[in-house]
Amino acid sequence: MPRQLALFLTAVQFLTRVPVPLMRDFDPAWTARSARYFPLVGALVGTVSAGVLVASSQVWGGWLPALLATGVGVLLTGAFHEDGLADTADGLGGGHTSARRLEIMKDSRIGTYGALALVLALLLKAGALEQTPVWVAALTLVAAHAGGRAAAVVVMRVAPYAGDRSSTKVKPVADGVTRTEVMIGLVCAGVATVPIAIVAPLATSIALVVAAVAALAVPQLARRLIGGWTGDTLGATEQAFEIAFLVAVAGAIAR
């Protein structure tokens, strides 16, 4: 199997519940190397969600198409990033020391902060989609999903890892990504953003700035409270970008 195809399939396997062909010569190091394709996988998830949004809007009105599109994205990823958001909210919101915050984030149980973060996240996504014209919302979904994954990849490059490398489930990811991998990821995210930028250039520009600020706030807070990023805070970073992008486009279009 060609190396780049293997890395892409590794990214699909890592970020989603979509079945991929068995890779008999799989190397755990591929997980970090596949980060270059995380935004591409995000764009594909966004495309499927967008298709559900457009198709369901031909049958139903109101919130239902937006909820279905949001739900499909969660199903495709197995709530991978949403789980990180919930754990991050519980850990950063409930602990008083770095060690305690990391301990809470490893706990599989969900707390008050995590539950509230999940509910608010899903409502904000669905609400933003419901407020946006359907075809604009569809293109926004593709860009938001791709950009969210790109934001996480950038954090992996520029910020330190806060967890215990010896006990992490995916050690190569904790070792970070290369500059080239970040650039490839940003290119993938940029391509995914072109359609919405053509349709709504001003709204897209505003949304990119707002989403970048929102995504940057997560690793900054994590660095202050736990010393860097973990897999959970990467999920929270992705969600922050995705939500902020959707909300900002909806607001800019409405005005």
Domain ranges of the chain: 40-254
Name the band, by pLDDT with cuts 50, 70 and 90, for residue 28: confident
What pLDDT, on a 0 to 100 scale, did the predictor assign at position 95? Answer: 83
Q: Which two tokens stand for residue 117?
A: 């973060």
What pLDDT, on a 0 to 100 scale, did the predictor assign at position 170? Answer: 54
What pLDDT, on a 0 to 100 scale, did the predictor assign at position 150? Answer: 98
What pLDDT, on a 0 to 100 scale, did the predictor assign at position 23? Answer: 84
Q: 40 or 172, which is more confident?
A: 40
3 state DSSP class of 27: coil
Type of residue numbered 11: A
Q: Which of 133, 13, 129 is nearest to 72 (CA)?
A: 129
Helices (H) and strands (E) in the chain, counts: 12, 0
Q: Phi/psi class of residue 168: alpha, beta or left (left: φ > 0; alpha: ψ in -120 to 50)?
A: beta
What pLDDT, on a 0 to 100 scale, did the predictor assign at position 171? Answer: 55
What pLDDT, on a 0 to 100 scale, did the predictor assign at position 108? Answer: 87
Tens digit of pLDDT for each residue in 56-86?
999 999 999 999 999 999 999 999 999 999 9
Residue with tokens 């997560």: 218
Name 203's Cβ contacts closer than 8 Å, sequence gap at least 6: 196, 248, 249, 252, 253
CB contact at 8 A, 237 and 215: yes
Q: 65 or 1, which is more confident?
A: 65
Q: How far apart are CA 234 and CA 29, in angstroms?
A: 18
Question: Is 154's pLDDT higher than 90?
Answer: yes
Tally Cβ neighbours within 10 Å of residue 24.
6
Question: Is 25's pLDDT higher than 90?
Answer: no
> What mean pLDDT is predicted for residues 25-36?
89
> What mean pLDDT is predicted for residues 4-19?
95
Q: 180 or 255, which is more confident?
A: 180
What pLDDT, on a 0 to 100 scale, did the predictor assign at position 172? Answer: 56
Q: 63 or 94, which is more confident?
A: 63
Tens digit of pLDDT for each residue in 121-143?
999 999 999 999 999 999 999 99
The CA distances from residue 127 to 19, 63, 120, in Å, are 31, 7, 10
What pLDDT, on a 0 to 100 scale, did the predictor assign at position 165? Answer: 63
- Specify the pTM: 0.95
**What would the 3-class secondary structure string for 195-243 be?**
HHHHHCHHHHHHHHHHHHHHHHHHHHHHHHHHCCECHHHHHHHHHHHHH
Question: Is 27's pLDDT higher than 90?
Answer: no
> What mean pLDDT is predicted for residues 77-106?
94
Q: How far apart are CA 33 and CA 184, in angstroms?
A: 11
Which residues are 161's β-sheet partners?
A: 229
Tens digit of pLDDT for each residue in 200-248?
999 999 999 999 999 999 999 999 999 999 999 999 999 999 999 999 9
Name the band, by pLDDT with cuts 50, 70 and 90, for residue 26: confident
